[in-house]
Structure 1
Amino acid sequence: MIDHVRDLEAVRDATERLLAAIAALDNASSAEPSRLPGWSRGHVLAHLSRNADALVNVLTGLPMYESAEAREADIARDADRDLDTHLKDVRTSAERLFATAAAQTDWSRTVHLRGGVTDTASRVPFRRLVEVELHHVDLGIGYELEDLPLGFVQQEILFLAERFRGHDTVPGVLIRQDDGRMITTGDRTGTPLTVTGRQADLLGWLAGRRDGAALTVVGGALPVLPGL
């Protein structure tokens, strides 16, 4: 269940873990490739900073990004900066977001994200938590899906299953988690496939971070999911 107070605290904790990990890098390693195709670690860090600013825009009623092209240009512009500049930017942009969140009085209102997506303001903190946690993994510096807080993993699996539920390109799937939890996603008609596995592997598949080879599939082939 979404709880913006709890999720904001989780974002603070995740941001501190991320900042500590970044501080252990150097300029050379920050310029190395990340796990995201075509992006260096610097691209990931630049994206995290600009995403915090974009969510400030969302919470203050402005467009999330000026345009898709401007979003990409800002990330490319900032990607090659030195590590100290990245570290400062990730920290200060996060603080701007926390300050903006602290000033909110109506968390039930509708906000506008990129691509015409709308949501309630109360879900913005969790959306930021997803960015911080998954992109920390994407840096490829020793923080893995297995290291993510269990509560976050469970919540993100639910969030992504909801995102794909009813999607016309995803066949029906019954997800069986290793703790016995079950959840459906994809097409709601017909007999669903059954996908079973560890929560980290399920999250990796749903979030496009793993190919699903570690999962067990009954009733057909593991679906290829749309990009996030």
Structure 2
Amino acid sequence: MRTLEETLAWVAEGTALCRRAMAGLDETSLLPGWTRGHVVAHLAGNAEALGNLVRWARTGERTPMYGSPAERDTAIEAGARLPADRLATWFDESARALADAMAHLTADQWRSEVTTAQGRTVPAVEIPWLRAREVLVHAVDLGTGVRFADLPEPFLAELRADILARRGPANVPGVHGDPAEVTAYLAGRPHTGVTTTDGAVAEPLPPWL
């Protein structure tokens, strides 16, 4: 079971990985239809959106992550067209603001319930996990050399369990392979050496996250 301290550390590690992986933001990422700039803009907007949930937990005032899915998509498109230095600054400032806001939540506030963009009601202590998934998985998606094998194994184990729960075990075949590559497979990302329990090459899953 992950702890709050461990999850916050993953947020910091993923943020640093993303920052180091930011290069050629107008080039294609590993996500279909998105440049690296789209990925960075999504991450910057996600930090602000999760900051809304932190504010909700702190004040008790309902503050949705996004005004609407269309508003979120428009912000990503606009952000992807920003000059690289401005986009990097947006990423840095939004990440710092989220980290600072989370650092000031009290134990009671971490237990407050908030609602995610997908409509799930969760305790605020889940916010760091939502962010850790974003920055660590998308550090790989930037396509500048970070691999799932570079991510912390305890994080990968938590991610595998999370994806299986979200996809539904009945919708995912049993597979064998290196744990990092299995995680990539479950996340619908490029992978190698993952086979089903009967030895066949695992068929691709749709992208998750």
Q: TM-score range by the shorter chain?
A: 0.7 to 0.9
Alignment pair present for 1:127 and 2:127: no
- CA deviations 1:16-38 (Å, max 9, x no partner) are 2322332xx3xxx2101111111
Larger deviation, residues 9-18 vs 87-96: 9-18
**How many angstroms does 1:98 deviate by?**
0.9
Query: 1 or 2, which has the higher strand percentage?
Result: 1
Between 1 and 2, higher relative CO (CA 8 Å, sep ≥ 6) is seen in 2
TM-score by length of 1: 0.80
Q: Distance in 2 between matches of 1:2 and 1:123?
A: 10
Alignment partner, residue 85 of structure 2:
84
CA offsets 1:75-118 (integer angstroms, 9 cap, x no match): 00110112211211111100110121122122222210112122
Question: How is 1:58-207 mapped onto 2 (pairs within 5 angstroms)?
Answer: 58-61=53-56, 62-105=63-106, 106-165=109-168, 170=171, 173=173, 194-207=174-187
Q: 1:223 to 1:216 in 2, by over 3 A?
A: closer
Q: How large is the Cα RMSD of the aligned pairs?
A: 2.0
Which residue matches 2:17? 17
What is the letter of the counterpart of residue 162 of structure 1?
Answer: A
- 1:3 paired with 2:6, answer no
Q: Which sections of structure 1, spanning at least 5 residues, go unmatched? A: 174-193
- Structure 1 match to 2:27: 32
- Of structures 1 and 2, the larger Rg is shown by 1
Percent identical across equivalent pairs?
A: 34
Looking at secondary structure, tell me which structure has more helix per residue: 2
1:35-56 CA deviation, whole Å, 9 max, x = no partner? 1111111100100100000001
Give 4+ residue runs of structure 1 displaced > 6 Å after superposition.
none
| Distance change in 2, residues 1:152/1:166 (3 Å) | closer
1:214 to 160, 177, 193: 193
Q: Which residue of 1 aligns with 2:60?
A: none
CA distance in 1, matches of 2:47, 2:197: 40
Aligned length: 199
Structure 1 residue aligned with 2:59 = none
How does the TM-score come out when normalised to structure 2? 0.86
CA contact (8 A) 2:25 2:36 kept: yes
1:3, 1:122 within 8 Å by CA — same for their partners in 2? no
